[in-house]
Amino acid sequence: MFAFDVVSGRAAREVISESRQDILDVVKEAYLAHESGQSINPNSYFLRFPEKPSARIIALPAYLGGDHDVAGIKWIASFPDNVARNVPRASAVLLLNDYATGYPFACLEASQISAARTAASCVLGASTLHGSTRAHRIAVVGAGVIARNILEFFTAGQWEIGEFAVYDQVSGYADELVSYSRETLGVAATTADSLESAVRGADVVVLATTAATPYISGLDVFSAHQTVLNISLRDIAPEIVLASHNVVDDIDHCLTAQTSPHLAEQACGHRDFIDGTLAQAVLGKLEFDDSKPRIFSPFGLGILDLAVGSFIYRRAVESGRTTPIDGFFAETERWQKK
């Protein structure tokens, strides 16, 4: 009852690499559980630093019912300046709490979990809004860890892809992701010399940058019927959002913290430009015409971390890849027996 296990990032990565198709299903079911009211997902809390305006640490508490019946919290740091040191931008831990007692029973290294749930959400959004798992060209803007995970989940989802067109402001990063796609994933890929050339003619566009403010403007950047996965949330100017179909993971969560949809709301004074949530789209409750781009903007819900984290924890326990911490709790009885 009072066991406490640690799951390392290496173990989490191993489970993820073996289970991406399963994780796509886990994320889909978590969205549907959230849509049906089987979750509690408070607002994220942002810890910011005046002397490091680009850095933040975010707390995402949540509860997910149904088959999971687990509570917990992800504590994730985003320090973009790490990239210049060749250190990943994000680091994180995830605590899982037993719903019956409230006691934590596991601590997982969660940067791998966070990247996996983000990538799975992206690919689920792509198949739902695009309407198929076939694309002649997928444009990828930003070539970091999240982008690599997204490419892995596209291939795990058995997409038929002509090529990935990768653009990054640092061309060397784009070249590395292109090589990874070709040599490890077996999918054709090219390095684009500009964002516009990457996006032009793409069926699907993935935005996976560290942008803090919109830099993509103009109503001619994205084309009608193009599916845009706004994973980094702040790349797109409000006028593009307002001229597109818009799907989010959770309306209240996404329209906050100066995201592109939040800026669009501030510009027009209402939320009528939001078509609905991804879960509603999965359930066939949303309709789109072919005259506009289709933008999916996922804020990133804590319930996804719980769903994926719980899945990874169970697989790690089954395969003996956890580290038990004996005696983690000093007292397990309210009154000591005499």
Each residue's pLDDT tens digit, 135-148: 999 999 999 999 99
For 281, counting Cβ atoms within 10 Å of its Cβ (0-12 exposed, 13-18 middle, 19+ buried), the class is buried
In degrees, to the nearest 5, what angle opens at C-alpha 109 toward C-alphas 304 and 316? 80
Residue 84 has pLDDT above 90, yes or no: no
Two tokens, residue 128: 């739902």
Residue 338 has pLDDT above 70, yes or no: no
d(CA 124, CA 144): 20
Each residue's pLDDT tens digit, 48-77: 999 999 899 999 999 999 888 999 999 999
Predicted model pTM? 0.93
Of the chain, the end-to-end C-alpha distance in Å amounts to: 21
Distances (CA, A) of 180 to 101, 144, 232: 45, 12, 21
Each residue's pLDDT tens digit, 14-54: 999 999 999 999 999 999 999 999 999 999 899 999 999 98
To 10 degrees, what angle do helices 20-35 and 9-18 make? 90
